[in-house]
A and B are shown apart, each in its own frame.
Chain A
Amino acid sequence: MSKLRKHLDKSRREYQQAKYPGDLADELLRPAIKLSQWIAPIGLIAVAALVVVALNLHHATPTINEKTNPPYVMDMTQSPITTQPTEQLAVSTGGVPDFSTSDTSDMSFAPSGYTFSVSVPSFSLAEDDSSTQPSATTQATKETI
């Protein structure tokens, strides 16, 4: 091998050590790759939004009778969550008579079958003990005495 060839071989080895300072694919293809990564999710979101809008329109338009039913308004406000338990009142209806509401034309204040009378006790401030009825306990006390 000639000396020139040896020098050429040596130069070739040095030549082949040179490396590109960076990542060519990353520099040239990265924007396109990133964009393609976003296309699918954005497309899915757009399609989902269209489906929701279409469903809302489909349900709202044909079923509402404007004369009888007011248009449905979706309440988007959330009721606040109460952390304290609400106090519940127990109402007993056992003693309440059954009111018939079939015919309300002659409904009186008192339910049928009941006589409603109000007796107002009379009070007098006179010192006549006979006018006042003593209670059982006071009567017993007097007898003991």
Chain B
Amino acid sequence: MDDATIEAAQRGDRRAQAQLLHALQDPWFRFCLSLVRNVEDAKDATQEAALRFLKALPSFRGQSKLQTFAMGIALNVVREKRRERDAQTDAAALRLSEARTEHESSKEEAELLRQSVDQLPDRQREAVILRFFEQMSVEETAAAMKCAEGTVKASVHQALKALKGKLSHLM
């Protein structure tokens, strides 16, 4: 994603915008998928993030990487969807979550880790995914999460501590 393409996309060049969307669609999708754990919801979130990204693109001033800017938008979308989902949470969803926990012992280690990450509080989960899966720096993660770098460090520390506790029998 070179500067010329970004500037052209900011001016409304459709081909440049398409190039940016091609570059961002997979990072967006896997990030959303890791947070919502449902392909259709992740696809919806990706599309919503892309639309908001195109709308917000002219306001991008280059203080951060474009990918960080884009991930921040996707994170906002996921948070909104999560709030909607949480408002609709019922006993069935709770039962499904309990069932997943019961089957942990029969899963692969990676799957166990994924499930453990899923069970982290939202902030910690976001920080772990951005830091370790998207391999963003603390600064970039903080920019995407719109919080202080100290908050990111604390969230990651608490998340790793929780994961170690959950996976202690594997280590």
Q: What separation, in Å, do the CA atoms of A4 and B132 have in the docked complex?
A: 12
Task: Please report the total number of A residues contacting B with Cβ < 8 Å.
Answer: 26
Binds A, one of B16-24, B80-88, B89-97, B143-151: B16-24
Contact across chains for B30 and A15 when beta carbons are under 8 A apart: yes
User: Please, how many angstroms separate the alpha-carbon atoms of A24 and B28 in the complex?
Assistant: 11
Q: Are B26 and A19 in contact (CB under 8 A)?
A: yes
Query: Which one of B14, B17, B22, B164 contacts A4 once the chains associate, using CB atoms below 8 Å?
Result: B164
Is the CB of B104 closer than 8 A to any CB of chain A?
no
Interface of B is mostly: helix
Residues of chain B in range 38-54 having any CB-CB distance to chain A below 8 Å: 39, 43, 46-47, 50-51, 54
Inter-chain residue pair count (beta carbon < 8 A) = 83
Knowing A15-B34, A16-B30, A18-B33, say if A24 contacts B163 (CB, 8 Å): no
| Residue from the list A12, A21, A36 in contact with B135, Cβ < 8 A | A12
**Does A20 sit within 8 A of B, measured CB to CB?**
yes
Q: Of the candidates A7, A22, A32, A36, which one forms a contact with B113 in the assembled complex, judged by CB atoms under 8 Å apart?
A: A7
A-B pairs, 9 with minimum CB distance? A25-B18, A18-B30, A20-B29, A25-B21, A24-B25, A20-B25, A3-B171, A15-B133, A24-B21
**A-B CB contact pairs (8 Å), 26 listed:** A3-B171, A4-B160, A4-B171, A7-B110, A8-B113, A10-B109, A11-B113, A11-B132, A14-B110, A14-B114, A16-B133, A18-B26, A18-B34, A19-B26, A19-B29, A19-B30, A20-B25, A21-B39, A24-B21, A24-B50, A25-B17, A25-B21, A25-B25, A26-B18, A28-B51, A32-B14
